[in-house]
Amino acid sequence: MSTKRNQDEDTKSVKKPASHWAMGLLSSMKDPELFIKEDDTVVIIKDKYPKAKYHFLVLPKENISSLVKVTKEHLQLLKHMDKLGQETAESYPNSVFKLGYHAQPSMSRLHLHVISDDFSSACLKTKKHWNTFTTDFFLSSSKVISEVEMQGKVTPVTNDKVKKLMDTPLKCHKCSFLAKNMPTLKTHILVHLKKLI
């Protein structure tokens, strides 16, 4: 009886561990429900948890974990990602888009955000979500390309600066309105969205 228990325990112990959530982009790249298009070097997908009406990710097929690993050798890739991001945004002419990278991304695998600036999404829930797209934590694609052209790399944002950016008061990205909390901010944003209709 104890032998069977030991065998069962051995069987349980060799089960594959679940993938870490930070590696989720690798599986998302293969998800047909998220897939938009691909070519020889990149894949474009819908963000699984979109923070706006339109939110896409442009990811290289090359295994580049983050901006910190980018060198001048990747310059053409960055420009290509930007070009495809712009083309994707142009498919939605009634929306304004931002293209950029998070200074300290939570997900492993370099990815360019192509996001409409309506920020109309049930997945946009927290102050952190908001500040990652509306402060200097969001590094524009053009700025990243310029920095790599001039310096051969992207200067990492310090942890202290990241903390300050995440602690930035909730402020409307269209006007000077300061919100006490996310529900108030999201209600306010609707005012700007109605002006576009």
Hey, which residues are catalytic here? 111
Strand residues in 107-146 grouped as ranges (E): 112-116, 138-140
Residues contacting residue 47 through CB under 8 Å, at least 6 positions apart:
34, 55, 56, 57, 113, 115
Is residue 140 within 8 Å of 100, Cβ to Cβ?
yes
DSSP string, 154-172: -PPPPHHHHHHHHTS--B-
